[in-house]
Amino acid sequence: MHIFYRLLLTLNSTLLIGVIFLIKEQEQIGFLTNYHRWVSYILFILIPVFLTGISLLLSRFLSSDSIEGTIKDVAQGNNAFLPSYLGYFFVAISIPRYETLIFVFLILFVFTYLSQTSYFNPLFLLWGYQFYYLTTENNVKIFLISKKTIRRTKGLSFPNLKRINDFTYIDKGDG
C-alpha cells in the first residue's frame, strides 16, 4: 500500500505540469468542443484536485502513529515548496511539443518519487491542509500535513497520525 500511495502522491504533485501545458495549448476535451474552452480547462484542473481527494481518503489505510512528548519547534512549510511549483509552471509554459512534455513529466515524476518531495502537493491547500516542519525533543525534523493551525509548541500533540514514511505524517485528527 505504501508504494502505491507514494506513486499516487507523486502523480498528484506532478500532474499540474500537464494541466498547465494543456491549457497553454488551448486543448479541449473531445465531447466538450461545442462549449467554451474554459469548460475543458476547469475539468483539466479538477482531475488532479479529485485525485488529491482520493489520496486523502486512502490515507486512512496507512499505518497509524502519534507524536507525543515535547515538540521544540514548529515552522510553516507551505512557502518552502512554492518556488518548485512555480518552476513547474514555467517549464510547462515553455514546453513546445507533447513528446517533450512526456519526457519532462517522466523525468520529474521519477526524481520527485525518489526524492520523496512528493508529499508536498499544493492542492492539499484546497482541501484545507497546511504543511509544517516539527522538530522533536530528539532533534528529529518531521514533515506534517495537517488541517490544524499551529502557532505554538506548548501542549502540542498529534495522537491520530498516518505514517507516509519515517519523517512524513498526515494528521487525521480534527482541524
pTM of the model: 0.84
Sheet hosting strand 141-146, strand order edge to edge: 64-67, 158-165, 168-171, 141-146, 130-136, 71-76
Summarised one tens digit per residue, pLDDT across range 79-137 is 777 787 788 888 889 999 999 999 999 998 998 888 876 567 888 888 999 999 999 88
* CA atoms of 129 and 144, how far apart (whole Å): 10
Q: How many domains does the chain have?
A: 1
pLDDT category, 41, cuts 50, 70, 90?
very high
The pLDDT value given to residue 117: 62
Domain range for 101 is 2-171
